[in-house]
Amino acid sequence: MIHTVPNGSVAARRPPLLWEQHCCLALEKSADVGELARYSRPGGSFVSVNVGHAPHGADDVTGLIVSRRERIAADDRLRLAASVDDIDAAGRAGEVAVAFDPEDSGPLEGELDRVRHFYDLGVRTMLPSYNTRNAAGGGCLDEVDEGLITYGRALVRELNAVGMVADGSHCGARTGLDLCETSQLPVVYSHSCMRAVWDHPRNITDEQVRECAATGGVVGITGVGIFLGPNDASVDALVRHIDHAVDLVGPEHVGVSTDYPFDEGDFNAMLEQSPELLPDCYTRWGPMDFMPPECLLTVEGVLLARGYPDDAVAAILGGNFCRVAEAVWR
């Protein structure tokens, strides 16, 4: 069933915007930020870029962000986005707006005041845990997920207070549900697919989708082949997951977020050399396939061709994540 977005929603008011809630440059200072210009489109684009995960400390992430900020500021195709107004201005100027997201709370090193430090550097989204249990909560690859612990709940409250979006991707199901219960502001699954469509431990359940939507949040369907199907990173596979999420919670709670690694070749070479780094459900199909920016830019036309109304397409492409930013960012 195709749904429309309620009258007066952000998606109905805004021009088409592409909001890529998570992609990955190589986690090194020399990475070419100019690759982000591949997301450019007439309606404007916003991109959130990974700046670290479980192995990285506060100094590592700070240094990486400072380096990226300098490179972005020097590239006239890109603009640092501290606010939604910056995203609007970037769109009018034909630039790609950029912010940052660490995929784990580990870089805080247990110090909640670092949430403000990272926010001031341009981080707008943070995950409590990355695949396995840490000081905040459980991961999607844990055999048992006991949910958010005391520190994890305090982290969510600090994210709310500072204005940083809490993100359940890579968390275990119980931890993700606790995240939605604890947060007083919209929660996202920045880059996650539907377990009901493809049964993979990294994908999220229908219950998680519904509870995320109940916070006013958004699920960003990701373009990683092994999460969409048997290593199928096609637009058709992405839209199958979008269809399921829309049928569950309506188009006002669904977005897109590819998790595209610009160092794709190096990543797959590393896995070939060290397959033990990830479980069989990641490696059984050989080199992972990912959806590049150029394919993401075609999703609008595919959704329209399938009968999605203009307002629903605008919401899914970017209006919904923008609405969350307007509600959460300070």
Q: Is residue 1 part of a domain?
A: no
Q: Is residue 3 part of a domain?
A: no
Contact of 108 with 58, CB cutoff 8 Å? yes
* Cα–Cα dist 137/159, whole Å: 15
Cβ burial of 67 (10 Å; 0-12, 13-18, 19+) is: middle
Q: Which of 1-5, 31-35, 284-288, 297-301 has the lowest mean pLDDT?
A: 1-5
Mean pLDDT, range 37-51, rounded to an integer? 96
* Cα–Cα dist 276/273, whole Å: 9
Strands 218-221 and 188-189: parallel
* Cα–Cα dist 183/200, whole Å: 26
Q: Output the pLDDT for position 14.
A: 47
Q: Name the band, by pLDDT with cuts 50, 70 and 90, for residue 129.
A: very high
Q: Say how many residues make up the chain.
A: 330
Residue 112 has pLDDT above 90, yes or no: yes
pTM of the model: 0.94
Per-residue pLDDT tens digits for 54-108: 889 999 999 999 999 999 999 999 999 999 999 999 999 999 999 999 999 999 9
* Cα–Cα dist 147/138, whole Å: 6
Structure-block tokens of residue 230: 């048997």
Residue 181 has pLDDT above 50, yes or no: yes
Structure-block tokens of residue 106: 């580990």
Domain count, the chain: 1
Give the range of the structural domain holding residue 47, as residue numbers without chain letter.
10-328
Edge to edge, the sheet with strand 18-23 lists 18-23, 45-50, 96-101, 78-80
User: What's the per-residue H, E or C state across 101-145?
Assistant: ECCCCHHHCCCCCHHHHHHHCCECEECCCECECCCCCCECCCCCC
Per-residue pLDDT tens digits for 266-318: 999 988 898 888 999 999 999 999 999 999 999 999 999 999 999 999 999 99
Distances in whole angstroms, Cα of residue 93 to Cα of each of 15, 35, 85, 263: 14, 18, 12, 28
Q: Output the pLDDT for position 1.
A: 41
Between vectors from CA 278 to CA 245 and to CA 54, what angle results, nearest 5°? Answer: 80
Q: Output the pLDDT for position 7.
A: 44
- Rounded to 10°, the helix 206-214/173-182 angle is 10
Residue 228 has pLDDT above 90, yes or no: yes
Q: Output the pLDDT for position 295.
A: 97
> Minimal CA–CA distance to 216: which of 170, 136, 160, 154?
160
Q: Is residue 133 part of a domain?
A: yes
Q: Output the pLDDT for position 12.
A: 42
CATH number at residue 217: 3.20.20.140
Cβ neighbours of residue 103 under 8 Å, at least 6 residues apart? Answer: 22, 50, 52, 53, 54, 127, 130, 169, 170
Q: Output the pLDDT for position 15.
A: 54
Q: Is residue 77 part of a domain?
A: yes
Q: Output the pLDDT for position 275.
A: 87
Q: Output the pLDDT for position 247.
A: 98
Give the whole-number percent of the chain exceeding pLDDT 70.
Answer: 95
Q: Is residue 2 part of a domain?
A: no
* Cα–Cα dist 9/171, whole Å: 29
Residue 165 has pLDDT above 90, yes or no: yes
> Minimal CA–CA distance to 217: which of 169, 165, 256, 172?
165
Q: In whole numbers, what is the pLDDT of the chain averaged over residues? A: 94
Number of H helices, E strands in the chain: 15, 9
Contact of 104 with 131, CB cutoff 8 Å? no
Contact of 132 with 142, CB cutoff 8 Å? yes
Q: Output the pLDDT for position 10.
A: 41
